Structure 1
Amino acid sequence: MTEKTLLIVEDDLALQRQLRWAYDGYRVLVAGTREEAMAILRAEEPAVVTLDLGLPPDPDGTTEGFATLAEMLALKPDLKVIVASGHGARESALRAIGEGAWDFYAKPIDIDALGLIVARAFHVHALEAENRRLAAGVTGETALGGMVTAAPEMLKVTRTIERVASADLSVMLLGASGTGKELLARGVHEKSGRKGEFVAINCAAIPETLLESELFGHEKGAFTGAVKTTEGKIEQAHGGTLFLDEIGDVPLPLQVKLLRFLQERVIERIGGRKAIPVDVRIVCATHRDIDAMVADQSFREDLYYRLAEIVVRIPSLAERPGDAGLLARHFMRKYALRMKSGVKGFAPDALAVIDAHPWSGNVRELENRVKRAVIMADGARIAAADLDLGRAEEAALPINLRAVREAADRKAIRHALARADGNISGTARILGISRPTLYDLMRTYDLQP
């Protein structure tokens, strides 16, 4: 469909009519409730949505609006949602952007200004679609922070980070262990323009009794064994970026001290009385359910909002079709060179189990398996037995039946392209179809060879 589809979610009938007639160049659809909006989203798959946060049954608040935003983005992550609210505009704006909204405007509505925002949203959506088409056909790209990926799901994350890297905001990375949170944190630092160092600390790997000293440093004689004054990680990162990995493991008493530092941007070493100003960008990460920790008060809510000015959720390896094969080749080359091994590639059965495995340990698990396989392989090709992996079932989250079919075709073609190293003839053989049929499918789904 060449006509651009815009969904307006607004419960005020007069404003609905005003907005409907303001957009002559678009196919405009209107919904007044979350249920109507989700039904239209499933059926029509619009690229851009304007969403009033004050929806029934909470027209005077924002609860229903934020629930609608979350449900929409869960169903269609590439959707550009432009949020409107007259309720605490600044607070709503920050929260909406943090939860994935593309842009924000305050009521009363300026039709001309909103029209520019909508036009820009369609333009960016089209650019991102083109990026996905280009990425779908490559056999591997080094993205932000040196991350190897060709998955649109991960490229979206890297684009988000590139967008916010230059802003002086704290970033929280949420994702399972082994998804590459430290690589992305380094990417934030590299794109930030900060001249200081990137300093990382794993808060779960250091005993609770030593963590405060590691972060804030100590003066000579502050405690037994403190034979000299030592800078903490925060001071070492002055002018640069501090990466707090596994922030969810920081004990409550230390959370209070971290909060004070974030509020005042000064620290005191253990045993010291001098306030030391520090200029540092904070990036943190955790694999824990941080929202649940805030709810049960095992993580301070005020600290969470200081650390989570921008929240980025990182997909697991299982949610990145095709990346397992690309990464496996990357790690195979890396360790074959390092170990002076004669391994040159993967046997078909090895690629099959790599595609089928759920990778609960994500990229870290994959790297360890490939490293082991390079050591264990008898010949030039790694076999399935060298990886010692089982099989796995696959699942999909559909938006509608057409999308299910398209997702299945896309996933199969991307897996096959990765396995065939981008070779069209090899991909067609793997899929059991002719080259012309494969080209037709790739044109249909905008997959570039």
Structure 2
Amino acid sequence: MASILVVDDESSMRDMLEILLRKQGHEVHLAADAPGAVARAAQGDLDLVVTDLRLGAGTGMDVLAAVKTHSPATEVVIVTAFATAENAIQAMKLGAYDYVLKPFKLDELKLVVAKALERRALVAENRALRHRAGATFAEPELLGRSAGIEEVRSLVERVARSRSTILVMGESGTGKEVVARAIHRGAGPDRPFVAINCGAIPEGLLESELFGHEKGSFTGATEAKAGLFEVAGTGTLFLDEVGELPPQLQVKLLRALQERRVRRVGGQSDLAVGARIVAATNRELAEDVQRGRFREDLFYRLNVIQIRVPALRERKEDVPLFLEHFLARFAAEAGRPVPRLSPEAEGALLAHDWPGNVRELANVVERAVTLAGEAETIDPSVLPPALRGRAAALPDAQAQLPDAGMDLQAHLDAIERHLLEQALARTGGVKTEAARLLSLTFRSLRYRLAKFGIGRD
């Protein structure tokens, strides 16, 4: 038996679907509009949502986005009599399982529901198997629905099967290796993925690591060793922090990329190599070229296709997804139920700018889960001091007027902007739902967002 939410503004359709699904043995919940559906979905115990596209208040797309924010594993089926290719594509991009046209045959809908629940069960079983095998969350994905990460995802899909060299750029902690692994998986994960951090290995050893060495080529070389170019075979060689390569190795890397051949340290002949190169850096290599720190010819050889990963502060609407992901991950590793965030802790986490990006967020959540122990709720006391201070500094109705006075309008604007950003982050960027959280009309919300330039490209 599955838990299914039916969302439709027509009572006759709700009643018909309720009867149909209850006959199949399912537990059925009903909602007449998007706000009611979102509130019910936020409880996180649903297996499937069947929603009409056009609702009296909000839309099925609002329901879909909110469900995937609160409970990504819940499947969603969109039902509509007003189908367009654009709506269908948008629904699938947001994570809908299927798109059913009215009028539909009951057998058709029963089949779609059965398939959606089968997929939900298979995903859950796969996660359980991976957890028992000790591999839970070992292969992170490109989380997020912001415009920035959608662009990254689109580029990854387009270049994955090419053999072109790719340069992934972004601040430290943004997930550049996650992007590299996504590219590799798209090309066929049965081939090797080999990674090396060019800034973490001493210069004297880095050449041997990349290109290999022959026996006796230097003190301690007691046997021949294949370099990572050879080990990668026809798979992917990921050169992390490539901007840290010393000048001498920049020359040798350029030769390897141009000629697709390498020579081991102490070797007398070249070896052909076929690995696709994905390089990453948190440096602005174009500026390093101008300063003479990085070879211009190597930069252009690496920069055939560039993918820039946005900083987390540039896609704050994705923070709730990361919080949910890491809470589940670290709770599973600790063998405990997934804790909830208190409103104060959630507000502090959503308001933080995350200068360390996704890596910082993961560390903060791991700390919180560990220190919270068996508590069901994570509160600000287990957050780092800087974030606890942020929680304490959140707008307070008991704020006191300073002795020296204050700029009231500026203070009120700061509070308003903060709450607008928090509402958008909590709803995954769904404006109709953000308006509901703030008890605003959609027009009023849109005016206030424009006033502060929030969401403007």
Matched, 1:386 2:357: no
Whichever residue aligns with residue 369 of structure 1, its letter is: V
2:68 maps to what in 1?
A: none
1:301 maps to what in 2?
A: 296
Aligned in 2, Cα 1:410/1:348: closer, same or farther, shift over 3 Å?
Answer: closer
Whether the 8 Å contact between 1:194 and 1:239 is mirrored in structure 2 is no
Matched, 1:415 2:425: yes
C-alpha root-mean-square deviation of aligned residues, in Å?
3.6
Aligned in 2, Cα 1:173/1:133: closer, same or farther, shift over 3 Å?
Answer: same
1:439: how far off?
11
Unaligned 5+ runs, structure 2: 1-84, 98-136, 394-416, 450-454
Whichever residue aligns with residue 246 of structure 1, its letter is: E
- Choose 247-256 or 144-153, whichever is displaced more: 144-153
What do residues 37-79 of structure 1 show as CA deviations (whole Å, max 9, x unaligned)?
Answer: xxxxxxxxxxxxxxxxxxxxxxxxxxxxxxxxxxxxxxxxxxx
Residue aligned with 2:150, SS: helix
1:341: how far off?
3.2
- What percentage of residue pairs aligned between the two structures are identical? 43
Whichever residue aligns with residue 311 of structure 2, its letter is: S
Whether the 8 Å contact between 2:229 and 2:237 is mirrored in structure 1 is yes
Residue aligned with 1:257, SS: helix
What do residues 267-291 of structure 1 show as CA deviations (whole Å, max 9, x unaligned)?
Answer: 1110111211001101000001111
Unaligned 5+ runs, structure 1: 1-125, 394-406
Whether the 8 Å contact between 2:260 and 2:273 is mirrored in structure 1 is yes
Whether the 8 Å contact between 1:248 and 1:288 is mirrored in structure 2 is yes
1:256: how far off?
0.4
2:194 maps to what in 1?
A: 199
Whichever residue aligns with residue 382 of structure 2, its letter is: D
Matched, 1:267 2:262: yes
2:439 maps to what in 1?
A: 433
1:224 maps to what in 2?
A: 219
Aligned in 2, Cα 1:258/1:203: closer, same or farther, shift over 3 Å?
Answer: same
Whichever residue aligns with residue 385 of structure 1, its letter is: S
1:319: how far off?
0.6
1:17-56 superposed matches below 5 A = none
Q: Matched residues in 1 for 2:377 and 2:422: separation?
A: 23
What do residues 136-184 of structure 1 show as CA deviations (whole Å, max 9, x unaligned)?
Answer: 999xxx9x96122122211111111211222221110110011110010
2:143 maps to what in 1?
A: 148
1:35 maps to what in 2?
A: none
Q: Matched residues in 2 for 1:129 and 1:321: separation?
A: 26
Residue aligned with 1:320, SS: helix
Number of positions where the alignment pairs a residue of Structure 1 with one of Structure 2: 296
1:296: how far off?
0.8
Aligned in 2, Cα 1:304/1:198: closer, same or farther, shift over 3 Å?
Answer: same
Q: Matched residues in 2 for 1:344 and 1:178: separation?
A: 25
Q: Tell me the TM-score normalized by structure 2.
A: 0.58
Q: Matched residues in 2 for 1:282 and 1:276: separation?
A: 16
Q: Matched residues in 1 for 2:95 and 2:271: separation?
A: 49
Aligned in 2, Cα 1:377/1:194: closer, same or farther, shift over 3 Å?
Answer: closer
2:167 maps to what in 1?
A: 172
Aligned in 2, Cα 1:409/1:158: closer, same or farther, shift over 3 Å?
Answer: farther
Q: Pick from 154, 157, 165: which aligns with 1:159? A: 154
1:385: how far off?
2.4
Q: Matched residues in 2 for 1:129 and 1:320: separation?
A: 25
Residue aligned with 2:213, SS: coil
Residue aligned with 2:316, SS: coil
Residue aligned with 1:279, SS: coil
Whether the 8 Å contact between 2:423 and 2:438 is mirrored in structure 1 is no
- Choose 167-176 or 380-389, whichever is displaced more: 380-389
Q: Matched residues in 1 for 2:372 and 2:213: separation?
A: 50
Residue aligned with 2:238, SS: strand
2:282 maps to what in 1?
A: 287
Whether the 8 Å contact between 1:343 and 1:381 is mirrored in structure 2 is no
